[in-house]
A and B are shown apart, each in its own frame.
Chain A
Amino acid sequence: MRSIRGRVVLLVLAAQLVAAVGAVGLSIWYVHRAVWSSVDSELKARMVSVLALVDDDVKSPDGLTFDGDQVNIPKEDLFCIDDVHGGPVAGSSSWLTTNKDRGQHEDGAFFFRRGGVIYRAKAHMNAAILDQENHQIPQLYVNVYYAMPANRAEAEIANATRIAISVGLLSLLISFGSTWWAVGKGMRPLTDFAHQADLIEADGAQFEDPTGTVRSTELVPLARALHSLVSRLQRAFRRERRFLSDAAHELKTAVAIQKSTLQLLEQGKASEEELREGIARALEDTSRTENLVANMLLLASIDYFQRSTGKGAIDNEAPLGLNESLQHAIDQLVPMAKIKSVSVVFDSCCDLRVRAPEYELNQLWINLLENAIQHSPLGGEVKVEISRIEGSACRILIADAGPGISSEDLPHVFERFYRSDRSRSRLTGGFGLGLSIAKAVVEKNRGAIQIENMPQAGATVEVCLPAVDA
């Protein structure tokens, strides 16, 4: 049986059944004994009253007389008196003639059936006859049999048995009902949970904290666990949904630009030069979209990595020289720096190595440097500095001389698609993903990243990564 309720009820019923059978059996046995013992004492009394009518015959020394006129017993009773040699002295006429019912010749009670009626009988062998006149020591002995119908006693026993069994059955029924009800009521909070859990939508519809409303203390841990699970899922879901909606917005906008550029070419007549220009613009738009998709995929792949393989897998990465890695990224950004006349000053304490995928590390530096160059004033300076810090970690500082980050934006700069100055970052092709990717890459490679405003001017990004011991 798979239902808890069914199993509990079954168990309780089985125990109850054993107890009931015992109790009913015991009471039936007791009633049985009591009824037959009272019947037997009645039999004995009637037998004595019959025996009293036997007297010695004055005419013959061994003869016995029976005063038949004095017999005063119920007419359905039977009795029989023999002398010790088996000669009949007196008795109910029908019983005297047939010997077989009193077959035994010893003391005790017994049953027999006669004419469809069951009789309880008692035999007394060698009963002494007292001399009525002078109460002498008995010299005469007889065998006495006395029987009375047992139907009344049997009806009494059957009645008692019926009552005992009915009481047993009734108690079984009551305990079945009450157990069924109590277990059902006890399980109600569980079904309530199930019902509530059933109502939870993926988008995080209402799920009230059930901890306070649970009445059974056994269910409180379950309620608490359920609530915390649901809240965690809802938080994660909200985060995902926001990312998705932001991503959709960016993608739609990118597509809108591409589409409008192409449709513009389609409308009216365009000269060859206009067409060429239009195609160049469309290609530009496409590479922007490509860039957006690549950024989103990188983020998604890091997320996936974090969730599936955990953080141990980067140990397989070959150690990379930090100096070379940063220098490579700086070289890539020379054209961009030139446009803004920004100079990048690179300073390193020593040759440190880290374990991280080359592509990710490159993307990290590119994003951080791009950000610094974008926010630098014309002709400004971006400082890049590598140092070793306590333990075995490297610290990379990238500082710009720009206006810094407003205190209102500071807590959000690592959020996906967050843009403090949207129009400006748009013009430089940003999507608000650069710092999110940087954070994801750093955290995946067991590092830490933070950004803060410098007292004088500009913002500084600090990246700490575990170094590989030489």
Chain B
Amino acid sequence: MHVLIIEDEERLAQNLAKAISKNAGFVVDVALEGNEGLHLALSGSFDLVVLDLMLPGISGEELLTELRRAGNKTPVLVLTAKEDKQTIVGVLDNGADDYLAKPFDLGELLARVKALIRRSKGQASSSLVLADLILDMNTRSATRAEVRVELTPMEYRTLEYLMLRQGSVVSKEELLEHLYDYNWEKFSNVIEVYISALRRKIDASAHERLIHTLRGHGYMLRRSEAG
């Protein structure tokens, strides 16, 4: 998962980035200024935007309006020191998905971040299920046929993303965008490496294949057709 934090307090942004990458295993990018934040958010490769309202450049409210006007559907969690009802209603009406008042609890922030991402991918539970493959987003662990599957953090992230988007084709580029930050070499073949590792750990010893490759299009997690 790829999260964008737009927050002008550098220290706060750093702390949030650290907490989200450490505890949720998401990739985090930080923008310290409104215009830069908007530019990044419009690229569309983020699964969630954490947005402060008081920003240099353009304000959080303006940024949100611009983002939604451009048709971007990325979930937005607003952080604000303003706690009045008017502000809260305003940002939610303006296209925000949730808000958190400063000073907030990091644990709560993480839970909301995870819940918003889950919801935006059409999942209600933090436990993702496909046939006998179960992925627990809280403990960040996977089991296949009730046997725990040992995954490296990158393998887990890849599997989590595919599980959240199960049933639809996910291109290699999409995976790269959502699993790595901007500095990553996008033309590397890391994705192939992780997919083959996941295949070995999940599908090799099972009777039903779940990871499918659609040549030239990407990957898809789904049950094999009967027979």
Contact = CB atoms under 8 A, between A and B. Distances in A.
B103 A256 contact: yes
Interface residues of A, number: 24
A267 B32 CA distance: 25
B9 A264 contact: no
B10 A255 contact: no
Interface stretch (A316-324, A399-407, A421-429): A421-429
A70 to B, nearest CB: 115
Max chain B C-beta neighbours (<10 A), residue from A249, A255, A257, A258: A257
B98 interface: no
A422 B8 contact: yes
B152 interface: no
A249 B106 CA distance: 19
Contacts of B56: 419, 421-423
A28 to B, nearest CB: 78
Interface string A246-263: 001100110111111101
B11 A264 contact: no
B113 to A, nearest CB: 13
A285 interface: yes
A268 interface: yes
B10 A427 contact: yes
A421 to B, nearest CB: 6
Interface in B34-65: 54-56
Contact of A256 (B8, B32, B102): B102
B15 A257 contact: yes
Given A256-B103, A259-B103, A263-B107, A268 B10 contact: no
A252 B8 contact: no
Interface stretch (B18-26, B132-140, B174-182): B18-26
B81 A249 contact: yes
Given A259-B105, A264-B22, 12 more contacts: A248-B81, A253-B9, A256-B9, A256-B12, A258-B103, A263-B106, A264-B106, A281-B11, A422-B8, A423-B33, A426-B10, A427-B10
Interface of B: 8-12, 15-16, 18-19, 22-23, 32-33, 54-56, 81-82, 101-107
22 contacts: A249-B82, A252-B81, A252-B101, A252-B103, A253-B12, A253-B81, A257-B11, A260-B12, A260-B15, A260-B16, A260-B19, A261-B15, A263-B19, A263-B106, A264-B19, A264-B106, A267-B23, A267-B107, A268-B22, A285-B11, A422-B54, A427-B10
